[in-house]
Amino acid sequence: MTGTYQEKVGGNSAGNLKSFIDRIENLAEEKQAIADDIKEVYSEAKGGGFDVKQMRRLVTIRKMDRDKWREEQDTLDLYLQSLGLL
Amino acid sequence: MTGTYQEKVGGNSAGNLKSFIDRIENLAEEKQAIADDIKEVYSEAKGGGFDVKQMRRLVTIRKMDRDKWREEQDTLDLYLQSLGLL
Amino acid sequence: MTGTYQEKVGGNSAGNLKSFIDRIENLAEEKQAIADDIKEVYSEAKGGGFDVKQMRRLVTIRKMDRDKWREEQDTLDLYLQSLGLL
Amino acid sequence: MTGTYQEKVGGNSAGNLKSFIDRIENLAEEKQAIADDIKEVYSEAKGGGFDVKQMRRLVTIRKMDRDKWREEQDTLDLYLQSLGLL
DNA sequence: ACCGAAGTTGTATCAC
DNA sequence: GTGATACAACTTCGGT
């Protein structure tokens, strides 16, 4: 077994805490790096003449369960109608 | 009119669009995987008796410190530049 | 005339700066208060059974110039088609 | 099915929806007015020879300080609570 | 399962 | 027009 009771909740807990925090912060950094990559791809696409805003909507729609999308559209249409905007 | 068909769909057509979207979706997947890893670390820590909410606060505050420090450095640089010292 | 050169950029400039900052921070506070009021109205509506997300979309559409809205929809449709999603 | 017509449009119908939307849009207008005021103050300051970008930094940092202080207070409270001292 | 809070993502504004 | 910054919206998460 790796890790006694003492190590887990005893006098060593601060050390353990630091290790957890470190791991989290490192992962957070990696995550940010990927987020930056994504931004870069959008930039590239923009440079190629694409409309970034609509591309984002496209990605959202694809990620979204298709039925759910339709359902939300229906509700919106209902509201638009009820205000005489459709 | 703001934006022709050509401008909106990109001079290189739909194939390119698909390729951009694919790259974005792949990166998004990697990013999500890391997000999941982070959750896992929090879970582990929780299992070790730590309070997740407080750990998140800790991470937030440490990040704020870093950001604040960075902002202050940037401001300093601006001052130095404006005095021709940088 | 109110405000000499001295007052504006000379020894008094720090005092003026503080006054500007104070005004800004006060206004920011008021702004936040109103933002909170808005959230409250949405909450109320939610309590009445309305779908908050779609209400927000509705407000966005009404604020947006109608032609612009149509234009954006068209671009999105184009992209959806080019990926065979429509 | 997730959400009936009744649930989505609210038991009290379109009249209520319009009333909610109106309240929101009025508040939004007030909010915008204050945002404009803030911009005006920055403009004024700029006219007085101040560097707007640096002023914004200043406001940001002061806000960060306040937020950080608040976070720390909250964390302290959590600790106190968890020890049954609050 | 819900609710409030927190964090993340997306949009609009502004200075350059 | 572009990049940075600030603002607002949406999603997620932990707690109840």
* pLDDT per residue rounded down to tens, chain C (86 residues): 555 554 444 456 666 899 999 999 999 999 999 999 999 999 999 999 999 999 999 999 999 988 899 999 999 999 999 998 88
Q: What is the pLDDT of residues A29-65, one digit of tens each?
A: 999 999 999 999 999 999 999 999 999 999 999 999 8
Residues in chain C whose beta carbon is closer than 8 A to a beta carbon of chain A?
Answer: 51, 53-55, 57-58, 61-62, 72, 75-76, 79-80, 83, 85
Contact B54, D75 (CB under 8 A): yes
Q: What's the pLDDT score for residue B61?
A: 94
Phi, psi of D49 (to 5 degrees): 95, 5
Torsion (CA) B70, B74, B80, B83 in degrees, nearest 10 = -160
Backbone angles phi, psi at A50, to 5 degrees: -85, 155
Partners of A50 in the β-ladder = B9
Predicted local distance difference test score (pLDDT) of residue B82? 78
Q: How far is A1 from chain D (nearest CA, A)?
A: 31
Measured between beta carbons, the chain D residues lying within 8 angstroms of C44 are 20
Nucleotide nearest to D34 (CA to C1'): F7
Please tell me the least confidently modeled range out of A9-18, A68-77, C67-76: A9-18
CA–CA separation, B20 and A41 (whole Å): 7
Which single residue has its CA nearest the C1' atom of nucleotide E13? D39
Task: Calculate the angstrom distance between C1' of F11 and CA of C4.
Answer: 53
Beta-bridged to residue B9, according to DSSP, are A50
Cβ neighbors of A34 (< 8 A, separation 6 or more) are B27, B30, B31, B34
Q: What are the pLDDT digits (tens) for D59-80?
A: 999 999 999 999 999 899 888 8
Is C76's CB within 8 Å of A83's CB? Answer: no
Residue A56 CB closer than 7 angstroms to strand E? Answer: yes
From the CB of residue D36, how many other CB atoms can be counted at a distance below 10 Å? 10
Extract long-range pairs of D71-76: CB within 8 Å, 24+ residues apart.
Answer: D71/B57, D71/B60, D71/B61, D71/B64, D72/B61, D74/B57, D75/B54, D75/B57, D75/B58, D75/B61
Look at residue C51 and give its three-state secondary structure: coil
Q: Which two tokens stand for residue D81?
A: 């609570």
pLDDT at site A9 = 47
3-state DSSP call for residue D84? coil
Which residue, among C19, C16, B65, has the nearest Cα to D61 in the 3D structure?
Answer: B65
CA distances in angstroms from A16 to A3, A6, A53, B67, listed in the order given: 11, 11, 44, 25
Q: Judge: D50–C20 Cβ closer than 8 Å, yes or no.
A: yes
Report if CB D57 to strand E is under 7 Å.
no
Q: Write the pLDDT tens digit of every residue in D17-58.
A: 999 999 999 999 999 999 999 999 999 999 999 999 999 999
Q: What are the tokens at A7?
A: 């190590």
Candidates D61, D78, D82; nearest CB to B71: D61
The CA–C1' separation of B1 and E13, in angstroms, is: 23
Rounded to a whole number of angstroms, the distance from the CA of D16 to the nearest CA of chain C is 9
Q: Residue type for A84, please?
A: G
Beta carbons within 8 Å of A48's beta carbon, 6+ residues apart: B10, B11, B12, B16, B20
Report phi then psi at C36, rounded to 5. -65, -40
A-chain residues within 8 Å CB-CB of B44?
20
Binding partners of B (≥3 Cβ pairs within 8 A): A, C, D
What are the helix (H) ranges across chain C? 5-9, 13-47, 52-63, 66-82
Size of interface A-C (CB pairs under 8 A): 36
Stated as kind and residue range, the H or E segment containing A40 is helix A13-47
> What are the helix (H) ranges across chain B?
5-9, 13-47, 52-82
Task: Report the percentage of chain A scoring pLDDT > 90.
Answer: 71
User: What whole-number distance in Å separates Cα of residue A76 and Cα of residue A69?
Assistant: 11
What's the CA gap between C4 and C6, in Å, rounded?
5
Determine if the pTM surpasses 0.85: yes
SS3 A50: strand
Query: What integer pLDDT is reported at residue C4 of this predicted model?
Result: 54
Answer yes or no: do B41 and A20 touch at CB < 8 A.
yes
pLDDT band at D12 (very low <50, low <70, confident <90, very high): low
Question: Which residue do the tokens 């995550």 mark?
Answer: A31
Chains near A (3 or more Cβ pairs under 8 Å): B, C, D
